[in-house]
Amino acid sequence: MKILIATDNYYPNVNGASYFAQRLARELQDRHHKVLVLAPGQSIKSGYFTHKGVRVFGVRSIPIIKKIQFRQAVPFSQLTIWPILKDFKPDIIHVQDHFSLGHSAAYFGRYNNIPVIGTNHFMPENLTHYLHVGSTIEKKVNRLFWQYFLAIYQRLDAVTVPTQAAADLLRSIGFSKEIKVISNGIDLHKFSPKEDDYALRKKYHIPNGKILLYTGRIDKEKNLDTVIKALAKLPSDFSIHFVAIGQGMYQNNLQLLINKLGVAGKVTFTGFVPDEDFPYLLATAYCFISPGIAELQSIATMEAMANALPILAANAVALPELVHNDINGFLFEPYDEISLANYIKKIFTNEQLHDRLAEGSLQIIKTHDMHQVITQFEKLYEFVIRKKNKFNQ
C-alpha cells in the first residue's frame, strides 16, 4: 500500500503523539509499504527530508511555542501540498490530528475519493494551559477545540483511539461514528528489562540508590508538583531520589516549589535524553510515576512497564487501563500527595511487593506489542480501502 501519514506533530517534537507517528511510519515502511509523512518542516521553506529512513515532506512552518521548539505550518501554506499528494497518489491517508495539515490532507482525500482514517491523540488540556488566560476562558477554548475536531473527524472513513477511555471521551463530546480502539503500542524488543547502567547515572548526575522516575514533558498538566509535595511528606532519611527526564515550560515553577519544600537534594532534572540513552536510563529506575491528568494512553508508562517497573499513576482518563491496583502498581487520586507518599513508602520498603508488581507490568504490556498494533492498522487500512472502492463502483 501507499500510505500518507499527515500530522502537525512530528520529529523533532518530544511527546507521545509525535513518537507514535514516527514509529507507525517506520514500522509500515519496514513491512514494505510505501510511506510518505506530511509534517511541519523546520524552517520557513518547504521541502523533503528523511528521518530514520522515512521520507517526510516538511511544510514551511514557524515556531509557536519556542521553549519546546514546537512549530506550526504557516497559514495557507498547506495549499502547496496538493501537488505533493497528487504525485504520491496514496491508497489511504492516515491523519493524526485535526489541525492544519491533518485537516488539509483529509480534505484532499475526500475531494479525490481517497479513504481517510484518523487517530485521535488530542485533549485540549494539553494545549490550552499554554495560553495563561484563566479557567473560564480556557473552558471556552476547549469547547471550540472540540467543535473543530468534530467538524473534521465526523467526516472521516474510520476513526481510532488508543484506549477505551479515549473512546468514551469522544462519545461525551458528541462524536457519533464508530470508534475502533487500537493501542499506540511500543517496541517490546527495544524497551525491555536491562541492567542498571552506572555510566549513564554518572552522565546524567543520577545518584546511586532507589530511583522514582518520570519521563515526558515538564508541563503543568503533567502534575509533577504533586510528586514534589509527596517527597516532602516522606521522612527526611527515606531512601529515594526523584528523576524527571524531559523538558518543558513548568520546570522553573517546580524548582521554586522544590526549594520551598526543602527537597532539592532528592530531585534531578536530566533535560532532553537522546534515543540511544533512553532505554538504559529506564533501567536505573526502581519505580515509575505517571501523575498526569490528561493522558489518552501514555507511551511513557508503557515503556516503563516493558522495563518491568511498578507504576504509580493518577486515577485519571486512560491511566487506569494500564495500571491495575496491586497488580502492577497503584492508582492515586490526582493532587493527593498524601496518598501518593503512602504508596511510595509501600513499594520502596517492600522488595517482595515491588517484584510482584514488576512482573505484573511485564504481563500486562504484552498486549501492546507494536508489531500487533501495526497488523491491526494494516487490516483496518485494507478494510477501509475495500469499502471505499465498493462504494465508488
Q: Say how far apart CA 229 and CA 242 lie, in whole Å.
A: 12
325 within some domain = yes
> What is the spatial distance between Cα 376 and Cα 162, in angstroms, rounded to a whole number?
12
- Judge whether 314 lies within some domain: yes
Tell me, yes or no, whether 351 and 380 share the same domain: no
- Best CA proximity match to 16, nearest among 210, 271, 280, 296: 296
Q: Do residue 311 and residue 342 come from a single domain?
A: yes
**For 241-298, what is each residue's pLDDT tens digit?**
999 999 988 999 999 999 999 999 999 999 999 988 998 899 999 999 999 998 999 9
Domain match, 243 and 321 both: yes
Measured in residues, the chain has a length of: 393
Torsion, Cα 121 125 126 130, to 10 degrees, reads 150
The reply to whether 386 and 363 lie within a common domain is no
Running DSSP on this structure, what letter comes out for residue 325? B
Q: Does the residue 192 lie in any domain?
A: no
Q: How far is CA 303 from the centre of its chain?
A: 11
Whether 210 and 324 map to the same domain: the answer is yes
All 3 cell numbers of residue 273? 535524553
The CATH number that applies at residue 181 is: 3.40.50.2000
Q: Residue 67 is part of which domain span? A: 2-185+369-392
d(CA 170, CA 86): 32
Number of domains the chain is built from = 2
Tell the burial category of 113 from Cβ atoms under 10 Å away from its Cβ (0-12, 13-18, 19+).
exposed
Reported as a single tens digit per residue, the pLDDT across 328-381 is 999 999 999 999 999 999 999 999 999 999 999 999 999 999 999 999 999 999
Q: Verify that 53 and 80 share a domain, yes or no.
A: yes
Together in a domain, 241 and 110: no
Which parts of 31-134 fold into alpha helices (H)?
82-88, 100-111, 125-128
Q: What is the mean pLDDT of each run of 10 residues along the chain (393 residues)?
A: 96 87 96 97 90 94 68 72 91 95 93 96 72 69 90 97 96 96 92 81 92 94 96 95 94 96 95 90 95 92 96 96 97 97 98 98 95 96 90 65
- Would 137 be classed as within a structural domain? yes
Residues 47 and 87 in one domain: yes
